[in-house]
Amino acid sequence: MKTFLFKSSAILLLLFINLNVYSQESQSGKDERMAWWRDARFGMFIHWGLYSIPAGEWKGDKSHAEWIRTTAQIPLEEYNKFVGQFNPVKFNAEEWVLAAKDAGMKYIVLTSKHHDGFCLWDSDQTDFDVMGTPFKRDILKELADACRKYDMRICWYHSIMDWHHPDYLPRREWETGRTTEGADFDRYVQYLKNQVHEILTKYGDISILWFDGEWESTWNHERAVDLYNYIRSFNTKVIINNRIDVSRDGMAGMSSNQQALGDYGTPEQEIPDTGIPGVDWESCMTMNDHWGYNAADQNWKSSSQLIQNLVDIASKGGNYLLNVGPTSEGVFPPESIERLKVIGKWMKANGSAIYGTQAGPFENLAWGRCTQKQTDQGTRLFLDVFSPAPAKISLPGLMNEPVKAWLLSDASQTALTITRKNGSPEITLPTSGLDDICSVIVLDIKGKPEVVKGPEFSYQYDPASDKVEIRQLPGISRPDLTVYYTTDGTVPTDKMQAFSKPVTLKLPVDFKAVTYIGKKRTGDMTDIRLPLSFGKSVTLLKEPSEKYKAQGTASLTDGIQGSKKFNDGRWLGFEGDDMEAVIDLGKKTAIHSVGLNYIVNTGSWIFEPLNITVETSGDGKKYTTVLTKKNNAALWKQPDGVKQFSDVFPETNARYVKVTVSNRVTCPENHPGKGGKAWIFLDEISIE
Ligand code: FHN
């Protein structure tokens, strides 16, 4: 395809206007088409194909999976030998469907063709399909039939990228011996269309077409529109994800422009921090670290984590597509089956808190999550309380009148005590019958939820005065609404100072504010704590990775905490190297503690630091060690998440504080990335 240099933005705009036949679909038409999907909330992803035969291992390296042809650089002729070995004699489609159904899943997405190009159905377009194997059974047909038998929706994953078809371009850069002579990408696109037509017409109604592999240079928006038009020319019902187009924002998965095609966004291996009102999205995630079967991968998420993921996703209005990678014999790994059973038991008791719900009305809840359903009388809130459950749970800022609360799994619906604390409803949980993973409390309220958030503020550091100005941000304004605040760490009441204009405070700051409506306090308390190091200048003696340097050194003292996503632009990443930072407090200051945030995400080769050393100096030349924290390198298998290091030392007067965070440098022996460079991700050095 020729590339034209666009002279006018008008042409560019034209390119992005969807010229698809489906543009006449009304919002109500789309809502009707998406209704089952929005109600379903929970589905099974299945990655299965020739790659299940090597099971992740190639020449002693056990870090592979469905990408093995590329990650192990297996020449085509070598890889094609797996066709003669594919004979999953234990495959039983009904067993698969029942395992998904019993887990509470409402749809199954099977890889009809992954990037390796192998087709799990009897395709008229190629011999590189299941009929060319000893198995000689049409897997898509058997699974589709089993799904219909058990009222499960059947969906196909289909890769645009194809490492087998001679017309697909580009080749893998290591496939130097495989000629591109005569390769015609347009002819490949026709093959792609012919196969899409096959999988959408040979097996009855297909509910979702889950495209993937859309990111290479040969695929673009224009081709996406053409493929989308083609599909809609014979199928106006199938739901199509946003990976038909080229606007997916990496693993965040959401389309980066309004004109992008696709019915929903596809975050991968992650859950958005908040729901996105009016946007449909589905987080696809693995149970361990691989999509395709990897026999060595024992880094399984706990059933508790999987259920909390499901609840977290539903509370933000999304769907959870949880993956299983079957073995070459055609069975689910026992670890997957075990987790599916635990999830199924929970869903049997609590599925009504997931199916057909919308995102809850709260931004964050200390004790869990919340989903909601509209009822004739008002709203039913499902309060998902993660174990271990507190004695009471608060609903910060909920203005509605509560009608009744009960434990969802309590058939007698015994009413729970509801009081108000600091203006917000507080429910006393029962002392028995709670779930050991996540207990659901039902709360009926009158009307649609009205939640008054805690007051919000911005703050600005002035190096000259070494002071911070705190300003209130616009929020709900009501004549009877007043914000009260304190700066001494005490909890504000309406007896304290009303916030009427910006305040300027010395560091460290402990600013607390609450909202009163009339005489009633409501909403969460806002608590802003800024350490002595806030806004101070930081010098790095070693540079972070070019790719993960956030906003530079300022990120380390800007008071903004990085999220659990290491790629959120807030973290400084150091690959195979330590971090050495010197914070200049501007003048000699009495200090007694240092804190630091770091991420653990061992699947992404991000480990907790080996040692953290803190030294102080008055002149920036002579340093004294005041603190050393040593971790055990062998205990690298820490739970993933954001971790806070903080420790105290005898008070000392210092102007400079040097923090050295040592990296384990390489991944451990018993880690999939063994020998590869290990990362440390750091944020927010706080000095008090
Ligand atoms: O490359 C694929 C990968 O193998 C897997 O299929 C995931 C699942 O969403 N999608 C692609 C990576 O984004």
Residue pLDDT, tens place only, 567-576: 889 999 999 9
pLDDT at 616 over 90: yes
Q: How do residues 76-106 score in pLDDT, each as one tens digit?
A: 999 999 999 999 999 999 999 999 999 999 9
* Spatial separation of the C-alpha atoms in residues 543 and 520, rounded to whole Å: 51
Buried b / exposed e along 562-589 (16+ C-beta atoms within 10 A): bbebbbeebbbbbbbbbbbbbbebeeeb
**Of 276, 277, 279, 343, which is closest to residue 311 (Cα–Cα)?**
343
Residues 545 and 500 placed together within one structural domain of the fold: no
Q: How confident is the model at residue 8 (pLDDT cuts 50, 70, 90)?
A: very low
pLDDT at 7 over 50: no
Q: Is position 22 within any domain? A: no
- Report pLDDT for 23: 62
pLDDT at 15 over 50: no
Residues 159 and 221 placed together within one structural domain of the fold: yes
* Spatial separation of the C-alpha atoms in residues 680 and 417, rounded to whole Å: 46
Name the residue of 44, 109, 172, 268 to mutate for ligand 1: max ligand atoms within 8 A of Cβ: 268
Residues 563 and 605 placed together within one structural domain of the fold: yes
Higher-pLDDT residue of 523, 528:
528
Among 130-134, 336-340, 640-644, the range scoring the smallest mean pLDDT is 640-644
pLDDT at 667 over 60: yes
Q: Is position 657 within any domain? A: yes
Q: Is position 158 within any domain? A: yes
Q: Is position 50 within any domain? A: yes
Name the residue of 115, 120, 212 to mutate for ligand 1: max ligand atoms within 8 A of Cβ: 212
- Report pLDDT for 345: 98
Among 6-15, 332-341, 433-442, the range scoring the smallest mean pLDDT is 6-15
Q: What is the CATH number of the domain that holds 683?
A: 2.60.120.260
Q: What is the mean pLDDT of the chain?
A: 93
Q: Give the position, in ligand 1's atom list, of the atom nearest the Cα of 291.
A: 5
Residue after which a domain boundary falls, among 530, 556, 583: 530
Residue after which a domain boundary falls, among 324, 353, 382: 353
Among 13-17, 182-186, 218-222, the range scoring the smallest mean pLDDT is 13-17
pLDDT at 558 over 50: yes
Q: Give the position, in ligand 1's atom list, of the atom nearest the Cα of 323.
A: 8
Q: How many angstroms is it from 66 CA to the middle of ligand 1?
A: 9
Q: How many angstroms is it from 244 CA to the middle of ligand 1?
A: 13
Amino acid at position 630, single letter: K
Radius of gyration over every alpha carbon of the chain, rounded to an integer in angstroms: 28
| Kind plus residue range of the DSSP H or E element containing 626 | strand 624-630
**Of 282, 336, 276, which is closest to residue 106 (Cα–Cα)?**
282
- What pTM value is reported for the model? 0.84
3-class DSSP state for residue 298? coil
DSSP 515: E
Q: How confident is the model at residue 267 (pLDDT cuts 50, 70, 90)?
A: very high
Q: Give the position, in ligand 1's atom list, of the atom nearest the Cα of 251.
A: 13
Q: Give the position, in ligand 1's atom list, of the atom nearest the Cα of 268.
A: 9
Buried b / exposed e along 157-176 (16+ C-beta atoms within 10 A): bbbbbbbbbbbbeeeeeebe
Q: Give the position, in ligand 1's atom list, of the atom nearest the Cα of 114.
A: 6
DSSP 296: T
Q: Is position 9 within any domain? A: no
Q: What is the CATH number of the domain that holds 406?
A: 2.60.40.1180
Q: What is the CATH number of the domain that holds 216?
A: 3.20.20.80
Domain range for residue 419? Answer: 360-446
Amino acid at position 484, single letter: Y
Residues 366 and 349 placed together within one structural domain of the fold: no
Amino acid at position 227, single letter: L
* Spatial separation of the C-alpha atoms in residues 585 and 626, rounded to whole Å: 16
pLDDT at 422 over 90: no
Name the residue of 248, 264, 284, 291 to mutate for ligand 1: max ligand atoms within 8 A of Cβ: 291
CB 263 within 8 A of CB 231: no
Token pair 């693995």 is found at: 286
Q: Cα angle vertex 471, ends 468, 476, to 5°?
A: 155
Residues 341 and 371 placed together within one structural domain of the fold: no
Residues 406 and 500 placed together within one structural domain of the fold: no
- Report pLDDT for 48: 98
Residues 275 and 180 placed together within one structural domain of the fold: yes
Residues 338 and 364 placed together within one structural domain of the fold: no
* Spatial separation of the C-alpha atoms in residues 610 and 439, rounded to whole Å: 37
CB 442 within 8 A of CB 384: no
Task: Please compute the mean of the pLDDT values over residues 146-157 and round it to a whole number.
Answer: 98
- Report pLDDT for 22: 53
Q: How many angstroms is it from 344 CA to the middle of ligand 1?
A: 26
Residues 330 and 461 placed together within one structural domain of the fold: no
- Two tokens, residue 15: 């390119």
- Report pLDDT for 153: 98
**Of 612, 616, 599, 608, which is closest to residue 688 (Cα–Cα)?**
616
Amino acid at position 61, single letter: D
Q: How many angstroms is it from 212 CA to the middle of ligand 1?
A: 7
Q: How confident is the model at residue 597 (pLDDT cuts 50, 70, 90)?
A: very high
Q: How confident is the model at residue 638 (pLDDT cuts 50, 70, 90)?
A: confident
Domain count for the chain, please give it.
4
**Of 408, 411, 396, 404, which is closest to residue 443 (Cα–Cα)?**
404
DSSP 430: P
- Two tokens, residue 271: 């859950």
Name 51's Cβ contacts closer than 8 Å, sequence gap at least 6: 64, 65, 66, 67, 68, 69, 82, 114, 116, 292, 293
- Report pLDDT for 567: 85
Chain centroid, CA 500 distance in Å: 39
Q: Cα angle vertex 346, ends 341, 352, to 5°?
A: 130
CB 601 within 8 A of CB 637: no
Q: How do residues 355-373 score in pLDDT, each as one tens digit?
A: 999 999 998 899 999 999 9
Q: How do residues 461-472 score in pLDDT, each as one tens digit?
A: 999 999 999 999
* Spatial separation of the C-alpha atoms in residues 627 and 661, rounded to whole Å: 12
Which region, left, alpha or beta, applies to residue 476 given φ > 0 means left and ψ of -120 to 50 means alpha?
beta
Q: How many angstroms is it from 72 CA to the middle of ligand 1?
A: 17
* Spatial separation of the C-alpha atoms in residues 3 and 427, rounded to whole Å: 62
Using CA atoms in the order 216, 208, 103, 88, what is the torsion angle rounded to 10 degrees? -70
Residues 232 and 267 placed together within one structural domain of the fold: yes
* Spatial separation of the C-alpha atoms in residues 225 and 599, rounded to whole Å: 40
pLDDT at 294 over 50: yes
Is the alpha carbon torsion for 172, 175, 176, 181 positive or negative?
A: negative
- Report pLDDT for 11: 40
Q: Is position 234 within any domain? A: yes
Residues 264 and 246 placed together within one structural domain of the fold: yes
Residues 433 and 501 placed together within one structural domain of the fold: no
pLDDT at 14 over 90: no
CB 654 within 8 A of CB 625: no
Percent of the chain with pLDDT over 90: 83
Among 114-118, 270-274, 327-331, 627-631, the range scoring the smallest mean pLDDT is 270-274
pLDDT at 3 over 50: no
Residues with CB under 6 A from ligand 1: 66-67, 212, 268, 284, 291
Give me the helix-helix angle, 221-232 and 185-201, nearest 10°. 30
Among 10-14, 130-134, 292-296, 348-352, the range scoring the smallest mean pLDDT is 10-14
- Two tokens, residue 576: 């195979």
* Nearest alpha carbon, ligand 1 atom 1: 213
**Of 363, 347, 365, 346, which is closest to residue 355 (Cα–Cα)?**
347
Name 602's Cβ contacts closer than 8 Å, sequence gap at least 6: 299, 636, 637, 638, 640, 671
Strand-pair partners of 612 = 629, 661
Q: Is position 15 within any domain? A: no
Percent of the chain with pLDDT over 70: 97
Q: Give the position, in ligand 1's atom list, of the atom nearest the Cα of 266.
A: 9
Task: Please compute the mean of the pLDDT values over residues 99-128 and round it to a whole number.
Answer: 98
- Two tokens, residue 615: 């030294």
Q: Is position 19 within any domain? A: no
Q: How many angstroms is it from 681 CA to the middle of ligand 1?
A: 25
What is each CA distance from 252 to 146, 211, 248, 284, 313, in whole angstroms?
33, 16, 8, 11, 14
pLDDT at 9 over 70: no
Residue after which a domain boundary falls, among 333, 353, 373: 353
Task: Please compute the mean of the pLDDT values over residues 433-460 and round it to a whole number.
Answer: 94
